[in-house]
Amino acid sequence: MQRRTFVSMATGATMGFALQPGVLASEQEPKDPVPYPDPAVEVVDPRFAKYHIISAAVERLFTGARWAEGPVWIGDGGYLIFSDIPNNRMLRWLEETGEVTVFRSPSNYSNGNSRDRVGRLLTCEHDTRRVTRTEYDGTVSVLMDSFQGKKLNAPNDLVVHSDGAIWFSDPGYGIMSNYEGHKAAFELPANVYRLDPNTRVATVVASDLEKPNGLCFSPDEKLLYIVDSAVPKHPGAPIPIRVYDVVDGVRLTNGRMFVNMSPGTSDGIRCDVDGNVWSAAGWAGKDFNGVHVFAPDGTLIGKIHLPETCANLCFGGTKRNRLFMTASQSLYALYVGTEGVPMA
At 243-277, the pLDDT tens digits run: 999 999 999 999 999 999 999 999 999 999 999 99
Residue 178 marked as a ligand binder: no
Handedness of CA 192, 194, 200, 202 (dihedral sign): negative
Task: Give the pLDDT confidence score for residue 233 in this predicted structure.
Answer: 87
145 given a catalytic annotation = no
Percent of the chain at pLDDT exceeding 70 = 92
Burial string for 25-64 (b: 16+ CB within 10 Å, else e) reads bebeeeeeeeeeebebbbbeeebbeebbbeebbbbbbbbe
Going from the N-terminus, what domains does the chain have, and what CATH number goes with each? 3-335 (2.120.10.30)
> Which of left, alpha, beta for 91 (phi over 0: left; psi -120 to 50: alpha)?
beta
pLDDT surpassing 80 at residue 310: yes
Residue 156 marked as a ligand binder: yes
From 267, 274, 287, 297, active-site residue:
267
Residue 210 marked as a ligand binder: no
pLDDT surpassing 90 at residue 26: no
Percent of the chain at pLDDT exceeding 90 = 87
Mean pLDDT of 100-122: 97
Q: How many CA atoms lie within 13 A of 149 on its CB side?
A: 0
DSSP secondary structure of 54-100: TT---EEEEE--SSEEEEEEETTTTEEEEEETTTTEEEEEETTT--E
pTM over 0.85: yes
Confidence class for position 23, pLDDT limits 50, 70, 90: confident
Residue 99 marked as a ligand binder: no
Burial string for 199-237 (b: 16+ CB within 10 Å, else e) reads eeebebbbeebebbbbbbbbbeeebbbbbbbbeeeeeee
How open is the CA angle 340-303-206, to the nearest 5 degrees?
60
Closest CA to 223 of 267, 192, 255, 260: 255
